[in-house]
């Protein structure tokens, strides 16, 4: 697919009603559903695991975009693949064997993504560009929704867009994405936007407007 992808993060959803929230976001015009998996070790928060991904799989035909903030990650790649994630994104900071982990994801027939924390330079991608389908630039320190966009990441987004060249790699940005920050993010070269608080604010009756506002701003 081409064009700008809007990927609401269910981290900002009502966890007691995840199925309904996912369905509401799909009806509101979301392109992908972003799933923030946190282990309380790689990041200072705990969310959910492959069981929740499997429970949401029959709820929507949208792309399930799993962002794994867990360490170690390799022992769980199979479980997230079996759960029905379409894209599995792992962190470059996770360990010395990024290339192997990416091969594991593709071997399961899934799209492979690499995420970079705010302090990680784009050079971390140099030798995996042919192993990936997506780059996820963290524009906040991962762990929580509702943080402010770190403006220094715009230069990194620009640099990665240049590195990607003609490869079919999505460039996704995650953290502090709002109608105010989206224009500069897209101008720098992003073609997929994760939005937690900006997508879910105001409750279900506002979701369509929230998504439209992000699309129009960009
Ligand atoms: C942060 C997560 C993000 C988060 C974004 O660790 O990876 O996906 O949900 O939330 P907002 O859009 O509120 O910054
Ligand atoms: Zn995320």
What is the overall mean pLDDT for the chain? 98
- Please state the residue numbers annotated as binding site for a divalent metal cation: 34, 36, 67, 174
Q: What is the pLDDT of residue 1?
A: 47
Q: What is the pLDDT of residue 2?
A: 64
Q: What is the pLDDT of residue 204?
A: 97
Whether the pLDDT of residue 159 is over 60: the answer is: yes
145, 162 Cβ separation under 8 angstroms:
no
Which of ligand 1's atoms lies nearest the C-alpha of 146?
13
Distance CA 42, CA 91 (A): 10
81, 105 Cβ separation under 8 angstroms:
yes
199 lines ligand 1 (CB under 6 A): no
77, 48 Cβ separation under 8 angstroms:
no
Ligand nearest the Cα atom of residue 147: 1
Tokens of 181: 């920050």
Domains of the chain: 5-217 (3.20.20.70)
Q: pLDDT tens digit string along 100-156? A: 999 999 999 999 999 999 999 999 999 999 999 999 999 999 999 999 999 999 999
46-68: average pLDDT? 98
Q: Give residue 34 CA to ligand 1 midpoint distance, Å.
A: 9
Would the ipTM clear 0.95, i.e. be above it? yes
Distance CA 183, CA 202 (A): 22
Q: Give residue 160 CA to ligand 2 midpoint distance, Å.
A: 18
Ligand nearest the Cα atom of residue 66: 2
């Amino acid at each position: 697919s081409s064009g700008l992808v809007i990927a609401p993060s269910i981290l900002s959803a009502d966890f007691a009603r995840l199925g309904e929230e996912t369905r509401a976001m799909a009806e509101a015009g979301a392109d992908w559903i972003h799933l923030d998996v946190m282990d309380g070790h790689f990041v200072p928060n705990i969310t959910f695991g492959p069981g929740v991904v499997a429970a949401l799989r029959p709820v929507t035909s949208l792309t399930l975009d799993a962002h794994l903030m867990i360490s170690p990650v390799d022992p769980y790649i199979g479980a997230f693949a079996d759960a029905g994630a379409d894209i599995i994104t792992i962190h470059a900071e996770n360990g010395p064997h990024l290339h192997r982990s990416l091969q594991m994801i593709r071997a399961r027939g899934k799209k492979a993504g690499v995420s970079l924390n705010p302090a990680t330079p784009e050079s971390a991608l140099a030798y995996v560009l042919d192993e990936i389908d997506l780059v996820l630039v963290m524009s906040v320190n991962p762990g929580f929704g509702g943080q402010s966009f770190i403006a220094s990441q715009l230069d990194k987004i620009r640099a990665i867009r240049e590195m990607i060249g003609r490869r079919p790699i999505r460039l996704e940005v995650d953290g502090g994405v709002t109608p105010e920050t989206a224009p500069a993010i897209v101008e720098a070269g992003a073609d997929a936007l994760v939005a937690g608080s900006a997508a879910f604010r105001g409750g279900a009756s506002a979701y369509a407007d929230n998504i439209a506002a992000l699309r129009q701003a960009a």
